Amino acid sequence: MKVSSIGKILLIIFVLSCINALFAQNKRSSAMQLYNNARKKSMGQNWHGSLREYEHLVRQYPRSRYTDDAQFWIGYCLEQIPERQKEAFDAYQKLIDDFPRSTWADDALGHQISIAEQLILSGESSYRNFLQRQLANKVDEVRFQAALALGRLKDDRALPVLQEMLTSDTYGETALELIKTLTPAEFSAENQPNSAVAEEQMASPAVTNKSLDAKNVAGADKVLSFEATRYEQYRSMLKSSDQWNRRELLAFGLWYILPTDQFSDYFHFTGTAEREKWLQKFWKHMDPTPTTAHNEAKDEFERRVSYAKQNFHKFWNNNETRYLKDQYLRQGSPHAPWDARGELYIKYGEPDFRSVVGWQTEHWVYNQLDLDLMVKQFMTNIYGNAIRGTTVSGRYRRNYFDAERVDAEHIYKPEFIFDHDYHAKLLKNVTVQESKNPGKYLFQYSVPVKEVQTKIEGGDAGVRFKRNYVVFDDDMRVIREQRDVMTAENTSVTAGRVAETIAVALPKGAYRMAVRLETFDGKKMAIFKAKFTIE
């Protein structure tokens, strides 16, 4: 009897343990779902919507593994709403107080420093005490940012830390300019030779032909990260005003996706009509559906350019910066339409993962490209110091990470990656043959009957599919186009395969051809492109 009672007790304990484990798992799953929903909204710049989701997560699951992340993003969302800056500051402080060991704590401090500076400029002087306290912070990045903020606010209590920053590759130049502002007597005429030496050491380099193997722009041996021609192309498009028209934005976007020689060809044309003709030819080559009038690649490029201008163009008016000004987005100075994030977005589209990870720094991940990147806000990558490969996501082992490969194959390589979704499977086992007769080009395809069978009247399955082809001249102008419904009557059906030979008689010249095969329900398709010459 006693043994039976013990068994029942153990069984009850086991059942309760299972229930508790299941309940905990459900809570984790619900918290994760809330967090993912909020992240999607914040990635889409829906600050109010994502803010509600994050706040709900913190209230509902105060001990979740996602709670400190959510609290950081509450502050970040509030920071994007101009009238809620004080609330953003307090939200970051709540993260620091409630989760002092969170990996987001130092990032929250960095954002507080930026907000405090703006609030002081708007008349909220009480936030100056916060900045002064951060001068004693043990974390260099936090201490340095506080000193920069106070220096810009003309507060000489920043001087000891600014002096410490002079040896920093990242902050030395800006620190020197702030020190000059705060101690003008030390940089008077009699002391000018010494400061001139310092300025000469940090001056912008003359244009050279050195390329991306040397990218140190912080010291005296600065060189360009791009070849001289690309650098000059870039500089020629910068504008001091922020009045960009559509043509200028698209031209700047092309700089990131075209090799130097191709962009030179395009840029050589000054007339709108000539450039449009060049672009029409270029985008037709890129068209994933060349047998249709709709060019999805061109549409996607234009969408990305528009998105980059709207979402990655925010000024950072660090007016003390005197050198390499053309890499910053500063009001009144020559600048690009977007920062380094816009560059990546135009080339590769939306990242699979994006997060703020430090002072004016974001982490971007593209899974299919095997790209793991740290990206600076408010500055472009023209000097190679705004985008770098990283191992932070654990994608690479540190000892196997090849930074030079990432630089050469992606960061400095002009390219446009766009995977068009055809919403169809690929037709299987299609074979293609090309041949030429005098004055004629022959394109023959063969596809298994089972791949293109369609039910017809009476319920039987028969050969029935769509075949379209387009012929272009060397300027990618359409010179011939034909769309047909293919059946057993206008094709050759032998040994379980359907075949057709398309014969095209043309004058002498260079041509391109696109052929599209598609089942009637649109669930399977294949596109073939050919290049040929009639002699």
Residues 202-220: tens digit of each pLDDT = 333 333 333 333 333 333 3
Where in the chain are all domains bearing CATH 1.25.40.10? 23-201
Asked if residue 195 has pLDDT above 50, the reply is no
Q: How much is the average pLDDT of 377-382?
A: 90
In which order are the strands placed within the sheet that holds 361-366? 353-358, 361-366, 371-376, 387-389
Q: Residue 516's pLDDT band (boundaries 50, 70, 90)?
A: very high
Min mean pLDDT across 34-38, 330-334, 518-522 is at 330-334
Q: Per-residue pLDDT averaged across 31-35, rounded? A: 86
pLDDT on residue 350: 93
Supply φ then ψ for residue 312, to 5 degrees.
-125, 30
DSSP characters over 447-487:
EEGGGSEEE-TTS-EEEEEEEEEEEEETT--EEEEEEEEEE
Report the alpha-carbon distance of residue 130 to residue 429 in Å, rounded: 69
- As given in the structure block, the two tokens for residue 215 are 């990218």
Least confident of 17-31, 122-136, 422-436: 17-31
| CATH 2.60.40.2550 placement within the chain | 425-534
- pLDDT at residue number 231: 86
The CA–CA distances, whole Å, from 414 to 256, 262, 343, 485 equal 5, 11, 10, 41
What's the CATH number of domain 425-534, 1.10.630.10, 3.40.50.300, 2.60.40.2550, 3.30.43.10? 2.60.40.2550
Q: What is the pLDDT of residue 33?
A: 87
* 432, pLDDT greater than 70: yes
pLDDT per residue as tens digits for the range 36-79: 888 888 767 788 998 999 999 999 998 888 899 899 999 989 98
User: Could you read off the pLDDT of 289-331 as tens digits, one per residue?
Assistant: 999 989 999 999 999 999 999 999 988 765 545 556 678 887 7
- What global pTM score does this model have? 0.66
| Topology (CATH level 3) of domain 23-201 | 1.25.40
